[in-house]
Homo-oligomer: A and B are copies of this chain.
C-alpha cells in the first residue's frame, strides 16, 4: 500500500484569540502527510520548498516515515508563506500576507517510484496541477481531492475537468453549495456526484461531516471541542486521517469508509488543540482510539425494544 500526497508545503504565521506564532510548519501536503502517517506506512510526498526550509522540518517529516524524494528544493527563493488572523468566533479569518515564493511555479513531477501509488491525495492546489498529477499515475485504487471556493469561482472549467478523474471529493458545506449552485446540501451532493466523483464527503465544521458513497449516506457527528486553539490545517488533517486509515486497512467498503471519516474527524479534533501541526506530533494510540470511541458514544441511536 502506498499513499501519494501532493499539495503545498509552507510556513504559516498564525494569530488566534489565544496566541500567536510567527512561523510554523504548514501547507496541505504537510498536514495530510503528518496525519496519515499515524496509520499509514509508505507515504510519498510531492511538493516544493525554498532555500529557507529548515533541516529540522525535513527531519520531522522523515521521522514519520514520509518519503521526500518528491519534495523539490528550489534554491531560487523561499518557501510559500501565509499569515493570517482568526476572528473571535474562529470561523472566519483575515489573510494578512501571502508570499507564494517558489510555490508560484510549482510543477508536480511524480518520481518513477511513486507512480504505482494505490491511493492518491490531491491537496488543495490549482485544479490544472491536480490534473497533471493524475496524468502521471498508473491506475490508483482511490483518488481523493480537496478544493476551495477560489478555484470553484476562478477556474471552474479546469476544476470540472479534474473532477472527472476523482473518486472521492472532500469539501466543506459552503464549497459544496457553490460548486452545485444549489442551497440544499443533499441535492448539492447529488449534483456534485454527477460531475465525476463516485463518493463525496462534505465537512460541516461544528456540525460534523456527511459521507455519500454508493446508495448510503453517513452522518458523522462533530466532536465537542470546546477549546479550539487554532483551526489551521484541520481540513487537511481530516483528509490525512481518512486516507491514513484507508491505506492502513486497505478496505474501501462503505462500512470502513465510515471508520475512515471518523478517523479523519478524530485527527482534526486533536489538530485544533494546539498551534499548527504541533498536536499531531505527539499523539498516541490510546488517545486516538479513545476519541474514536467518544465519537461512537456521541451518535448512538438506541434500538426500540
Contact = CB atoms under 8 A, between A and B. Distances in A.
Interface string A243-257: 000000000000110
Q: How many chain copies does the complex carry?
A: 2
Nearest to A256: B302
B304 A289 contact: yes
A296 interface: yes
Among A91, A185, A228, the one with the most B-chain Cβ atoms within 10 Å of its Cβ is A185
Contacts of A207: 204, 207-208
Q: Chain A: interface secondary structure?
A: mixed
Interface residues of A, number: 42
A224 B302 CA distance: 20
Given A204-B207, A207-B208, A226-B184, A259 B221 contact: no
A301 B258 contact: yes
Contacts of A204: 207
A136 interface: no
A303 B296 contact: yes
B302 A259 contact: yes
A18 to B, nearest CB: 13
Given A89-B183, A184-B89, A185-B206, A259 B296 contact: no
A258 B302 contact: yes
B258 A219 contact: no
A96 interface: no
A224 to B, nearest CB: 4
Given A88-B183, A89-B184, A183-B88, A299 B219 contact: yes
The 3 nearest A-B residue pairs measured at CB: A219-B221, A89-B183, A207-B207
